[in-house]
Chain A
Amino acid sequence: MNTISRKLRNMTAIAAVAAIAAPSFAAADVTVGVLVPLTGELGEFGAIVAGGVEVAVNEINAAGGTSCGMLRTVIADTGGSAEKGIREATKMIETEGAVAILGPTSGVMVALVDLAKRRQTPIISPYAGTITLDELGGDYVYRTVGSDLGDGAAAGLWLTEKGYKSVAMLVQNEESTISPAQVARAALEEANVEITDYVIYNPGQPSYQAELVAVLANNPDVIYLAGGQESGVTVMKEAAVGGFEGEWLLTADLAVPQIFEAVDPRILNGRAYVQLAEPDNSLPAYQTFAAKMMMETGAAPGPFAANSYDMAMLVALALEGSEGCNGEAINSAIRDVTVDGEMVSDFAAARDLIAGGTNIDFEGASGPLTMDESGTPAGSFLIMRAEDGAWVSEKFYPATVFE
């Protein structure tokens, strides 16, 4: 008898805990999942992406929401892990009823392709440039950023235009860094720029001296460093200690302001450049977005913030442009709202045009969003230089340069 009552007591306790753990659904009608890395090497980017989505959702809801109702976001951390990404995405779709998943990084995005198609839930990334998606994307799988191939082309073009005679390439052993590096290398070879070294290194090492010895011995004009935040910081510090006095071209992972806290600004100021997919800051749509971002968060938009804002806008407009309120409906209309129509950059105006039966071509804060077969827009790129402990614009390459 005691055993039974103990079991009952235990079960009651478990049920109580479960009841507390169970979520209370907000009174929103459309849920969008935001699946980003909030921990790990890309944690800084995850917070920026989630912040960009938040600004868009606030704007959409302030304008009265979509015809399917107000938007609600649920946010989860992947830590950059494909397994965690699948677990969280499944939960978002099954439990929270998410109609779209926004924000996965390259590796997670690739792992979610099958899930997105099976569950008919679009996944959209603002920074997954991986060339794997050039083949897998296009149906339920979209991006608001250009492919890594464009990234490499931009780096190659800038290094050539800058007139460097010799370039060493240090590339982290990851797909997102290797594929653009290969494109950049081809561009440099075509322009007859000497490539003194092309070194692929594994991240997570306490030191990169072994890789740097050969690179520094050849005394290149510039080092193209395609690395993550952890490895990149160590490489730059060790190269400075090793006597490197040339310049740097860094890739997007190192475009965060925190880099000036991790690396002595004397190593960076006037000598380091960073290249990243970036919208045209002169576009009115971008300036409006930047002002909103500043008003809501008190900070200027970080890398990929505009692309993140555009993801949520695309989902909302696709809901307007379709006849349903689910992932299938979004997938059916997401391309239609970005091509062959009246140019518009404001959600409320776009919604009214759609309601009036007018086709729209939504130009986002990150620029034109017309997608190719793989669900990828043509990307524009920005080179920034380090100056007084901050990144400032150096050169902008619009998407038309790479067409």
Chain B
Amino acid sequence: MTIYAIIIATLTFGAIFSVLTLSLNLQYARGGMINFGTVAYFAAGAYAYAIFTQEPPSGLDQYRFGFDMPWYVGFLAAGVASLLFALVTGWPTLRLRGEYLALTTFAFAEVFHSLLLNERRIGNGSVGLANVERPDPTTLGMSDTVGYALAAVVLMLVTAFVFNRLLKSPFGRTIDAVHDDEIAAQAVGKDDARIRLQVFIISAIPIGFAGALYAMITTLVAPAMFTAEVTFFVWIALVLAGEKTIVGAILGAMALVLFQELVKGVPFETVRGAQIAASVEEIVTGILFILVLRLRPWEKLSKRNAS
């Protein structure tokens, strides 16, 4: 039963964060764009979902809009919100390269976080939007946790499939061309700025959907849930399992969430035990990260497969 719970939690949250690593993989490993603001697109999706499905404000609520629409409308709105946010942030920033782009996207994410926190008319400020509407998987004859784990895995697989097809298409080869040699790509008539913006926008859409699913699972959206920690978690996951491959992006996120679940899988019956486990978790995560980067197991694996 413990193993079952660990598997379900890993699949649910691992798959959601995999969608983010897949998108980051497309932007960074293939598009050459360092995005340190991933969490903002995730938050845009989650908030859009909550606002579209939330009832209009009443009583102590301070948010201005709640459209009380069905979950699927909110889900679509999440993708659109993330797309629009990518368009707004991508257009001025994608002329930048390397660390300048990284810092600018990070700044955009911080500005967005600050806006959600301080402008209470968007989503109740630090209180957030609670009791977020969500579909009930039990109507399909499956348990709640299994239903959402399945939904997360489906979203992850669809994202992986679409990105895989995209990268294998002529458009994918154009992305690689722009990434490998921008001047050469321009010389054969490719508009590199436009292609980079397209990649940025396309990769943001599934992040928005993942945000909506995250809001359904947590039933709460609040600024405290969308901090830079999420961005760094996704980056660590991407680096951990090796860049450039879709499988690697998925495995990295899954492995990180699995590790968290394994540490927490042991039930503690004393306060001291739980305190020690909580402290040890972050230390061990750091040590493991250093070891994996030092030993680079994925490189050995690919060499073994090649031979």
The residues of A with any CB-CB pair to B shorter than 8 Å are 18, 21-23, 26, 38-39, 47, 50-51, 54, 72-77, 79-83, 86-88, 90-91, 94-96, 107, 110-111, 113-115, 118, 130-132, 134-136, 173-175, 178-179, 200, 202
> Chain B residues near A81 (CB, 8 Å)?
224-225
Binding site secondary structure of chain B: helix
| Candidate in B132, B220, B265, B268 with the most chain A CB atoms within 10 angstroms | B220
Question: B262 contacts which of A21, A50, A76 (Cβ < 8 Å)?
Answer: A21
Taking the complex as formed, is B218 at the interface, i.e. its CB lies under 8 A from any CB of chain A? Answer: yes
Task: Check B224 against A76 for contact (C-beta < 8 Å).
Answer: no
Task: Check B144 against A118 for contact (C-beta < 8 Å).
Answer: yes
Task: Check B5 against A83 for contact (C-beta < 8 Å).
Answer: no
| Candidate in A21, A79, A88 with the most chain B CB atoms within 10 angstroms | A21
Taking the complex as formed, is B271 at the interface, i.e. its CB lies under 8 A from any CB of chain A? Answer: yes
Task: Check B273 against A75 for contact (C-beta < 8 Å).
Answer: yes
Proximity bits, B1-32, A CB within 8 Å = 1, else 0: 11111000100010000000000000000000
Taking the complex as formed, is B141 at the interface, i.e. its CB lies under 8 A from any CB of chain A? Answer: no
Task: Give B3's nearest chain A residue, CB to CB.
Answer: A18
Task: Give B271's nearest chain A residue, CB to CB.
Answer: A50
Task: Check A38 against B269 for contact (C-beta < 8 Å).
Answer: no
Task: State A12–B273 Cα separation when bound (angstroms).
Answer: 28
Taking the complex as formed, is B285 at the interface, i.e. its CB lies under 8 A from any CB of chain A? Answer: no
> Chain A residues near B130 (CB, 8 Å)?
110-111, 113, 132, 136
The residues of B with any CB-CB pair to A shorter than 8 Å are 1-5, 9, 13, 59-60, 114, 117-118, 124-128, 130-132, 134, 144-145, 214, 217-220, 222, 224-225, 261-262, 264-271, 273-275, 277-279
> Could you tell me the distance in whole angstroms from the C-beta of B2 to the nearest C-beta in chain A?
5
Task: Check B126 against A88 for contact (C-beta < 8 Å).
Answer: no
> Chain A residues near B132 (CB, 8 Å)?
114
Task: State A75–B268 Cα separation when bound (angstroms).
Answer: 5
Task: Give A48's nearest chain B residue, CB to CB.
Answer: B271
Task: Check A38 against B271 for contact (C-beta < 8 Å).
Answer: yes
Task: State A82–B4 Cα separation when bound (angstroms).
Answer: 22
Binding site secondary structure of chain A: helix
Task: Check B3 against A107 for contact (C-beta < 8 Å).
Answer: no
Task: Check B126 against A83 for contact (C-beta < 8 Å).
Answer: no
Task: Check B218 against A82 for contact (C-beta < 8 Å).
Answer: yes
Task: State A110–B261 Cα separation when bound (angstroms).
Answer: 23
Task: State A107–B261 Cα separation when bound (angstroms).
Answer: 21
Task: Give A78's nearest chain B residue, CB to CB.
Answer: B278
> Could you tell me the distance in whole angstroms from the C-beta of A292 to the nearest C-beta in chain B?
16
Q: With A94-B5, A173-B126 in contact, do A202 and B114 touch (Cβ < 8 Å)?
A: yes
> Could you tell me the distance in whole angstroms from the C-beta of B69 to the nearest C-beta in chain A?
18
> Could you tell me the distance in whole angstroms from the C-beta of B37 to the nearest C-beta in chain A?
18
Task: Check B278 against A38 for contact (C-beta < 8 Å).
Answer: yes
Task: State A136–B118 Cα separation when bound (angstroms).
Answer: 23
Task: Check B268 against A95 for contact (C-beta < 8 Å).
Answer: no
> Could you tell me the distance in whole angstroms from the C-beta of B36 to the nearest C-beta in chain A?
18
Q: With A21-B2, A91-B5 in contact, do A113 and B131 touch (Cβ < 8 Å)?
A: yes
> Chain B residues near A18 (CB, 8 Å)?
3
Task: Check A90 against B127 for contact (C-beta < 8 Å).
Answer: no
Task: Check B269 against A73 for contact (C-beta < 8 Å).
Answer: yes
Task: Check A87 against B131 for contact (C-beta < 8 Å).
Answer: no
Task: Check A94 against B277 for contact (C-beta < 8 Å).
Answer: no
Task: State A117–B13 Cα separation when bound (angstroms).
Answer: 22
| Candidate in B117, B214, B217, B273 with the most chain A CB atoms within 10 angstroms | B217
Task: Check B59 against A135 for contact (C-beta < 8 Å).
Answer: yes
> Chain A residues near B131 (CB, 8 Å)?
110, 113-114, 136
Q: With A75-B268, A173-B126 in contact, do A95 and B225 touch (Cβ < 8 Å)?
A: no
> Chain B residues near A47 (CB, 8 Å)?
271, 275
Question: A173 contacts which of B125, B128, B217, B271 (Cβ < 8 Å)?
Answer: B125
> Chain A residues near B2 (CB, 8 Å)?
21-23, 95
Task: State A115–B9 Cα separation when bound (angstroms).
Answer: 15
> Chain B residues near A21 (CB, 8 Å)?
2-3, 262, 265-266
Task: Check B125 against A94 for contact (C-beta < 8 Å).
Answer: no
> Chain B residues near A88 (CB, 8 Å)?
264
> Could you tell me the distance in whole angstroms from the C-beta of A25 to the nearest C-beta in chain B?
9
Q: With A18-B3, A90-B5, A107-B222 in contact, do A174 and B271 touch (Cβ < 8 Å)?
A: no
> Could you tell me the distance in whole angstroms from the C-beta of A99 to the nearest C-beta in chain B?
15
Task: State A118–B145 Cα separation when bound (angstroms).
Answer: 11
Task: State A39–B145 Cα separation when bound (angstroms).
Answer: 27
Task: Check A202 against B117 for contact (C-beta < 8 Å).
Answer: yes
> Chain A residues near B128 (CB, 8 Å)?
107, 110
> Chain B residues near A107 (CB, 8 Å)?
128, 220, 222, 224
> Chain B residues near A22 (CB, 8 Å)?
2-3, 265
Task: Check A91 against B9 for contact (C-beta < 8 Å).
Answer: yes
> Chain A residues near B118 (CB, 8 Å)?
173, 200, 202
Task: Check B126 against A178 for contact (C-beta < 8 Å).
Answer: yes
Task: Check A114 against B225 for contact (C-beta < 8 Å).
Answer: no
18 pairs across A/B with beta carbons < 8 Å? A23-B2, A23-B265, A26-B269, A38-B278, A47-B275, A50-B271, A75-B273, A77-B274, A83-B218, A90-B9, A91-B9, A91-B265, A94-B5, A94-B145, A95-B4, A96-B267, A175-B127, A178-B126
Apart from A21-B262, A174-B126, 20 more pairs, CB < 8 Å: A22-B265, A39-B279, A50-B274, A75-B270, A77-B274, A80-B224, A81-B225, A82-B224, A87-B264, A91-B265, A95-B5, A107-B224, A110-B220, A114-B132, A130-B127, A131-B60, A132-B127, A173-B117, A178-B126, A200-B118
Task: Check A23 against B274 for contact (C-beta < 8 Å).
Answer: no
Nearest 10 CB-CB pairs, A to B? Answer: A77-B278, A175-B127, A111-B220, A114-B219, A75-B274, A50-B271, A74-B267, A95-B5, A110-B130, A23-B267
